[in-house]
Chains A and B, each alone.
Chain A
Amino acid sequence: MTTEKKVTLWIDGVKVTVPEKSTVLQAARSINIDVPSLCYHPDLSVLGACRVCLVEVEGQRNPVASCSYPVAEGMKVKTSSTLLRRLRRDVVELILDNHPMDCQTCVRNGTCELQKLAYDLGVRERLFQGERKHFEEDKSSPVHRTPDKCILCGRCVRVCGEVQGVHNLGVQNRGFHNVVAPAHECNMIDSVCIHCGQCVNVCPTAAFTEQDATESVFEALSNPDLHVVVHTAPAIRATVGEGFGFRPGTPVTGKLVTALRRAGFHKVFDTNFGADLTIIEESAEFISRVQKKERLPLITSCSPGWVNFMERFYPELIPLTSTCKSPMSMLSTLLKTYYAQQMGIDPKNIFVVAVMPCTAKKFEASRPAHMAPWGKPYTDAVLTTRELIWMLKCLGVDFHNVEDGMFDSPLGVSSGAADIFGATGGVMEAALRTAYEKITGKELETLEFEEVRGVEGVKETSVEINGLTINIGVANGLQNAKNILDRVVSGEKEYHIIEIMACPGGCVAGGGQPYPPDGMHVLDPELARLRARALYSIDGSKSLRKSHENPAIELLYENFLGAPNSHLCHELLHTHYEPKYPRGVK
C-alpha cells in the first residue's frame, strides 16, 4: 500500500486533510465547498488564467487562484468574504464586458458556464463596458468557431493538445488581441483539425459549437416527397436521457425509438445493425490478413475522428487500417441500396438522418467516398445527441413519459455486440466474439472480454486463438493512441489488432454528447464509466450477443451482398484513405 503524504489545513474554519500535492481548490471541493471556477478543468493541466477561483490565504498579500495554489500544513483559507465577492464579480464582469450580449439567442443559453457564473456571482450591472473584440466566425467545418464568444479560458487548447495530441488550436497574437485559432488563424477545414469536437465539449461558452443540421432535418420531415429514415448510434441510447433529466447511465433505447417516431421519422433504424455488419466485414478482413500474415496489425476504422487523425498524423498506417466503412456509413449506404430496393423506393427520395455522438461523423458523411453515385451523400444529415435533444424539445416530445418502442425491421435488429461499440474496447470485444468463433469453429464460453473493458486510456492484452497468440491494443483519446501507434510504426511491438477511438472513453464521451449535468464534467472518467455501464447492461440483457448470429445480417448476405468481403461488399461497405494536408506534427 502506498502511503501518500498528507497535510492538514483549515478552509473556512473546517479542518481538512488532503494529499500533499493537492491544490486549495481540490481541498475545498473535497469538503463540498464549491469555489467558483472557470478556466480550471480537473482533467486538464492547470492554467490559473481566469482568476475566478480566488481565495484568501492567511499571510498572502493578495488573494490567490485556488486552482493552482498548493496546500500546505496548517494553511488557513477563506473562500468567501466581501472582498472576494467583489473581486470575483469584477473579474466575471470584465469577461462579460468583452462578450456578445446575445444570451437569449445563443445555443448555449442555459448550459453556458459564463452565464451561470455571472448570475451566481451577482453581476447585475455593467460598470466597465467598452469596446468588444471582433473576429470572423469560422463555419467552414463541422466544428464551428465563434471567437467573439471565446473567453480565452484555454480549455479547448488544452484538450486539443493534451488529450487529443492534435495541437490544432492555439492562442494566437497577444493581449487584448488574443484569439484561439488554428495556425495562421486559418479556417478549421484548412487546418489539421480532426473534427473530434472535444473543444465543443469543454468550451464553457458557445465559442465552439457543432454545425447545425437540425434545420435540414426539419425541412426534410416536412417534405411530403421524401421518405425520411433515422438511425441512431449505439452510444445515443446511453446518453440521450440526460437531456431530459435522467441520471447519466440510464439506458433509454425504447423511449428514444418512440420519441423519434413522434418526431415524424418514417422509419427508425438502429446503427447497431451497421455495427454488426462492420464486425462481420472486419473479422473477415482480419482473418484473411492473419492467415496470409500480411498488413498486421489491423486497425479499426469506426471512429471518424481517428480516421481523420490517421490521414493527417499517421499516413504511414493507411495500409494497416481496416477499409471497412463505419457502422453509420454502412447502414446509410444499405438504406439507399438494399432497403430502397426492398421497399421499391427511389433512393433519391430517401432522406437518411443519423444521430451520432460525434461531430466528426458530420465530416465523415461529407467525404467524397461516402457519396452515392448520383452525387448526394448516403447520409443526408448527421445530428449530434445534443441536436436531437433540442429537436425533441422543440417538437414538444414528452420524452419522460413516452412508452418504449422497437426499432423497425430489418435494419433495426442487432446483437449486444453492437451495443457496446459505444464504449472504448467495445468494438474489440465484439470483433473477438466473432473472430474467435469463426477461426476456431467453437463457441465461446465467456463472451465478456474484461481486459478490454474500462475507461483506461490504453489497454493491452493477448488472446489465444487456435494456438495463435493475438496481441491486442485498445486506446481511446488520441494522445493515448500515440502510445500504441508509435510502437507500431517503429516496429517495437507486434500487434495483431488494434482498436482506436478518438474520444477519451469512446463514443459515450464523444464530441456530440450532452453537456454533463451538475456535479459532473466533460472528460470525467466516472461519467464515461456510467454511460458505458448502460451499454454493457443492454448487451448483458440480450440473448443475441454475437454479430455473426444476427439473423437480419445473415439474411442480408443471403439476399443481397453474397459473402463477406465480396465484390459488392467492397463496393458498398468499404472505403479508402489518403494522406491529408496540412500534415499534423505528432
Chain B
Amino acid sequence: MKSELLKKEQDKARAVFPEKVVRYIEECSAKKNPDSHLISVLHKVQDHFGFLAREHMDAVSVLMQIPSTKVTGVASFYHFFNFTPRGKHRISLCMGTACFVKGAGLVMNKLKDLLGIDVGQTTTDALFSIDVARCVGACALAPVMIVDEKVYAGVKPEQVAKILAEYGFDPKKAKA
C-alpha cells in the first residue's frame, strides 16, 4: 500500500522527466527485479539530458524507491555517467593502448592546453568538453579523436587547433 505522502512525492518526481522517461521507469519498475534496471534508467535519463543532475537522481530514487545513496553510489561508480552539462561539442579522445602507443597522450596534452580544461570538464563558453574513451575499437586509425559524431583518425598534436576551429574554436580566446 502506497501512502498518500509517497504518491504526492512521486507525482512531483514525475514532473522532472519527459513522458517517455517516466514511462520507461514505470515499465522497469513493473518488471521482475526492478532495482536491477537502475543503470538502464540512468542511461535513459542521461540520454535525454546529456548529464545526471542532482534532481534527476533524486527523482529516480523516489520513482524507483531505491535509496538515493545507492542511486548516486551507482552513478558515480560508472565512468559513463557525468554530472555536469557537457559542452555543445563533445570531444572524446581514445586512450586505448594502440592510440597511446601512437601518441594520443601528446594529443591530449595539446587539447587540454588549447581549451584550458581537464578531462571531464566543459569550457566556460560551454562550447567544448573533453572525455576520454577507453578504446573505441578503431585501433588502426590511432590516435583517434571523436568530435560529436565525427571521427578524426591519425590525429597529430599540431592538427588539434585546426580541428577545433571547425567547431568555432577561437585560438585568440584560448589560454596563453
Contact = CB atoms under 8 A, between A and B. Distances in A.
Direct contact of A and B (CB under 8 A): yes
Interface of A: 161, 167-174, 181-185, 191-192, 315-316, 489-491, 579, 582-586
B169 to A, nearest CB: 30
B3 A316 contact: yes
Contacts of B3: 315-316, 489
Contact of A170 (B57, B62, B69): B69
27 contacts: A161-B67, A167-B69, A168-B69, A170-B70, A172-B72, A172-B76, A173-B76, A173-B77, A181-B69, A183-B57, A183-B61, A183-B72, A184-B54, A184-B72, A191-B69, A192-B68, A315-B5, A316-B5, A489-B1, A490-B1, A491-B1, A582-B68, A583-B9, A583-B62, A585-B67, A585-B68, A586-B65
Given A172-B76, A174-B76, A315-B5, A582 B58 contact: yes
Contacts of B79: 174
Given A172-B76, A173-B77, A174-B77, A183 B5 contact: no
A19 B9 CA distance: 48
B58 to A, nearest CB: 7
Interface string B80-96: 00000000000000000
A381 to B, nearest CB: 31
Main secondary structure of the interface of A (DSSP, over half): loop
A166 to B, nearest CB: 8
Nearest to B71: A183
B73 interface: yes
Main secondary structure of the interface of B (DSSP, over half): helix
B61 A585 contact: yes
A491 B3 CA distance: 12
A579 B57 contact: no
B126 to A, nearest CB: 23
Interface of B: 1, 3-6, 9, 54, 57-58, 61-62, 65-73, 76-79
Contacts of A173: 76-77
B9 A182 contact: no
> What are the 6 closest A-B residue pairs judged by CB atoms, nearest first?
A167-B67, A170-B69, A183-B68, A170-B73, A183-B69, A316-B3
A376 B101 CA distance: 67
Nearest to B72: A183
Nearest to B78: A174
B154 to A, nearest CB: 32
Nearest to A177: B76
A19 to B, nearest CB: 31
B1 A170 contact: no
Nearest to A183: B68
Contacts of B71: 183
B10 to A, nearest CB: 11
Contacts of A585: 61-62, 65-68
Contacts of A184: 54, 57, 68, 72
Contacts of B58: 183, 582
Nearest to B5: A315
Given A167-B70, A582-B58, A584-B67, 18 more contacts: A168-B69, A170-B69, A170-B70, A170-B72, A172-B69, A172-B72, A174-B79, A183-B72, A192-B68, A315-B3, A491-B1, A583-B5, A583-B6, A583-B62, A585-B61, A585-B66, A585-B67, A586-B65
A123 to B, nearest CB: 30
Contacts of A185: 72
A493 to B, nearest CB: 14
Nearest to B54: A184
Contacts of A191: 69
Q: Output the residue of B4, B65, B76, B79 with the most chain A CB within 10 A.
A: B76
A489 B1 CA distance: 8
Contacts of B6: 583
A162 to B, nearest CB: 12
Contacts of A491: 1
Contacts of A169: 69
Contacts of B67: 161, 167-168, 170, 183, 192, 584-585
Contacts of B73: 170-172, 183
Nearest to B4: A316
A353 B4 CA distance: 40
A183 B56 CA distance: 13
A490 B76 CA distance: 35
A182 B68 CA distance: 8
Q: Output the residue of A172, A191, A490 with the most chain B CB within 10 A.
A: A172
A374 to B, nearest CB: 35
A484 to B, nearest CB: 16
Contacts of A489: 1, 3
Nearest to A171: B73
Q: Output the residue of B5, B54, B79 with the most chain A CB within 10 A.
A: B5
A316 B65 CA distance: 17
A579 B70 contact: no
B69 A182 contact: yes
